[in-house]
Amino acid sequence: MIKRSKKYSVFSLMKNALSYHENWQPAWRNPEIKKEYDAIIVGGGGHGLTTAFYLAKNHGIKNIAVVEKGWIGGGNTGRNTTIIRSNYLWDQSAAIYDHALKLWEGMSQELNYNVMFSQRGVMNVAHNLHDVRELKRRWHANRLNGVDCEWLDTQEVKKFCPVINTSPNIRYPVMGATLQRRAGTARHDAVAWGYARGADSMGVDIIQNCEVTGININNGNVTGIETTRGTINSKKIGVVSAGHSSVIAKMVGIKLPLESRPLQALVSEPVKPVIDTVVMSNTIHAYVSQSDKGELVIGAGTDGYNSYSQRGGFNIVEDTIMAIVELFPLFSRMKMLRHWGGIVDICPDASPIISKTHINGLYFNCGWGTGGFKATPGSGWVFAHTIANDQPHALNAPFSINRFSSGELVDEHGAAAVAH
């Protein structure tokens, strides 16, 4: 009954070329909704799809629905700046993000789908003595956790990324940088599509245009969800709805420590290769890389107030552009082509929540804030484990919702290498 999507290869490419590429099969089905599933994942973004994928692959639970209110790749998965790294300060974060990075390294093979993962290195630049101390501290913490990291002085920074302005006379001079060579970027849409195709081929139903309007509970056990396309029953429900996590939580009377805010990004007109790494600066809040199409991909900061409107203030964009132009004067005449916002759910400690709740069978994976994309495979991996076994994986045990009562916060604000 389950029809496996055809394996992509050079031969399938040649075969389809003969029919002018008009006979490619859809990458995943558009299934009828069943009455009941073994597990339902709310939210068809990267983290939701990887959760379904690893539930099916690692835990043998294949009767799964992923319900998505919009379309696959239309939320934050398609709105981020595609940076992947694992150079986090604290042990708990380094462990989970580095687990994710290892999965990134094998992802294209695992999915038979080219996610264009490019380990071009991520450089975090220091602009003052405090930065230097903080980044060196993180460099040593990374080394102790087995995460690759190097320290570059100003000359080495210039050598690694020749277009950066290392003049000592700019307002925030480059005083050095950390470099994680295993870090890099990937094609974000391909990640969503690849996991959707992979999950679908194992029998997972991906249901788009289906919005959750309620969660049914009986005697403290979850029994199903109400959606715009009817009731769907399941004893296990994993909520992975990013910016809208508080909205879903409110349906069952749970308050989460989240603030949903707009986060903006923009891309320039495409140009020839000019920057072959990712440059991030915490102090002046700028980060930039170049996509394979040639566009500069620039990430701005979050707006300072809660909003679900998927658009932010122009002043935030202006601040980022000013910083980029100071660091890269040759970009000053670049034209920006597109600009957008996504809604990110920020935790007080800038670390995620991957946790059971007091309702049996209801799980939350949220709070990834401004940096969830890099964790996509690792997040799904541990969340699938949590749902399948009804207890957290060792990697996500520190990220329980209970840490806000116990005080065991994993404070990555600032330590996460870019201001949130």
Partner 1 sequence: MLLINCPYCGEREQEEFSCGGEAHIERPKNPPDLNDDQWADYLFLRQNIKGLQYERWNHSFGCRQWFNVARNTATDDILAVYKMGEKPPVLESNDPITPCGEPAIGSGNFSTLKKS
The residues that touch partner 1, with contacts defined as CB under 8 A, are 69-70, 74, 209, 211, 213, 228, 244, 246-247, 250, 255-260, 304-311, 313-315, 341, 345, 348, 404-407
Nearest partner of 66 among 240, 248, 249, 254, judged by Cα: 240
Name the minimum Å distance from CB 252 to partner 1: 14
Name the minimum Å distance from CB 1 to partner 1: 28
Longest dimension (CA), the chain: 67
Show Cβ contacts of residue 77 under 8 Å, excluding neighbours closer than 6 positions.
45, 46, 188, 189, 191, 192, 373, 376
Q: Residue 78 or residue 361: which is nearer to partner 1 going by CB?
A: 78
Q: Residue 174 or residue 263: which is nearer to partner 1 going by CB?
A: 263
Show Cβ contacts of residue 350 under 8 Å, excluding neighbours closer than 6 positions.
369, 411, 412, 413, 416, 420
Q: Residue 258 or residue 275: which is nearer to partner 1 going by CB?
A: 258
3 token code pair: 């029809």
The rounded radius of gyration (Å) of the Cα atoms in the chain is 21
Name the minimum Å distance from CB 213 to partner 1: 7
Name the minimum Å distance from CB 407 to partner 1: 8
Show Cβ contacts of residue 384 under 8 Å, excluding neighbours closer than 6 positions.
50, 51, 52, 53, 54, 55, 58, 59
Name the minimum Å distance from CB 368 to partner 1: 15
Name the minimum Å distance from CB 245 to partner 1: 8
d(C-alpha 73, C-alpha 376), whole Å: 13
By DSSP bridging, strand 39-42 and strand 64-67 are parallel
Q: Residue 77 or residue 260: which is nearer to partner 1 going by CB?
A: 260
Q: Residue 199 or residue 256: which is nearer to partner 1 going by CB?
A: 256
Name the minimum Å distance from CB 291 to partner 1: 21
Q: Residue 68 or residue 295: which is nearer to partner 1 going by CB?
A: 68
Contact 176, 152 (CB under 8 A): yes
Nearest partner of 181 among 121, 98, 241, 252, judged by Cα: 121
Show Cβ contacts of residue 1 under 8 Å, excluding neighbours closer than 6 positions.
none
Helical (H) or strand (E) element with 279: strand 278-281
Q: Residue 19 or residue 406: which is nearer to partner 1 going by CB?
A: 406
Q: Residue 83 or residue 316: which is nearer to partner 1 going by CB?
A: 316
d(C-alpha 263, C-alpha 303), whole Å: 7
Name the minimum Å distance from CB 336 to partner 1: 17
Nearest partner of 104 among 198, 164, 175, 191, judged by Cα: 191
